[in-house]
Amino acid sequence: MSTDPTTNAYYPIFYPDRVKELWREERQQTLAAEQQTTDVRHLLRQQPDHRAKTDRAGAGQNQYQIDAGQRVYGAVHCKECGLTYTTHEPEEELFHDRFHRSQAQLSFPSGLNEQVVVQVPEWDVTGRIVVVSQVDSTRQPLLQKALSVLELVDGELGYATCGELPEGACVYLAVARSTVLGICVVQSLQYANRMICLDGLHGVPIDCYSSEFYHAKCGISRIWVAPKYRRKGVGRKLVAAVRYHYIFGYTIAVDEVAFGAPTEMGKLFAESVCGRKDFLVYV
């Protein structure tokens, strides 16, 4: 058995870190290929195979782990919740178990008193974006559903307070086939700062906010899309719904939308939507 790291064969007993890298690289390539050929409509219509709920990576002739008779090994992708994780690692399996069970919060029951702002037939015949206000007393069941989804989102984003809305906020929900695809929390705003990226030590960039204030019409506190439906345009649809329907009779310009303390992925999304790196931000 070769243990030379320059060869093409890697055995997890000797090179566990390198094996994990290979698993991740292979899974990223597979996901990239799936994203090019699969849209939201097809994902919604996919029926999970309960006989084989996970895709096995590193199996067959190109396996990166010794097959000692274990049922599933290596990096796997759960078709039901869309999460990729490594089996036989307690922390990752526990995280997947919690995340998988939390997906029940993304179910959207029928019969709620909805205010539909946009129909999205390319998702499904039931594809739509609904909005509910924090002060709307006629839609309390819908608001409670939005808060339940927000609790899941805040837990994933690492918010200290889960499921709490800013005062006077509105919640936009992307829904199709009784499933919540994404959520966007919006609040009224008059002024915001601009994102500034400075060079830090060792070339590591540092995100800062400008000291100057700029006019803004609304602030997006959180925007989140379920992992299975990311990079399918759901987030852009939510932002577009906010721009065209948040203020009655007025279309909010892209440069009048601010983002609240975005994560690294949120920063990339905001740059893509706004078409500039110094997009509006607020605290």
Band of pLDDT at residue 192, cut at 50, 70 and 90: very high
Residue ranges with strand state E in 177-236: 179-188, 191-199, 205-209, 214-215, 218-225
Q: Which CATH class is domain 107-282?
A: alpha beta
Sheet containing strand 75-78, strands side by side: 54-56, 75-78, 84-86
The reported pLDDT for the residue numbered 52 is: 40
Neighbouring residues of 139: CB distance < 8 A, sequence distance ≥ 6: 112, 113, 114, 115, 132, 133
pTM: 0.71
**Predicted local distance difference test score (pLDDT) of residue 152:** 86
pLDDT digits (tens, 9 = 90+) for 161-177: 777 888 889 999 999 99
Q: Range(s) for CATH 3.40.630 in the chain?
A: 107-282
CA distance from start to end of the chain: 57
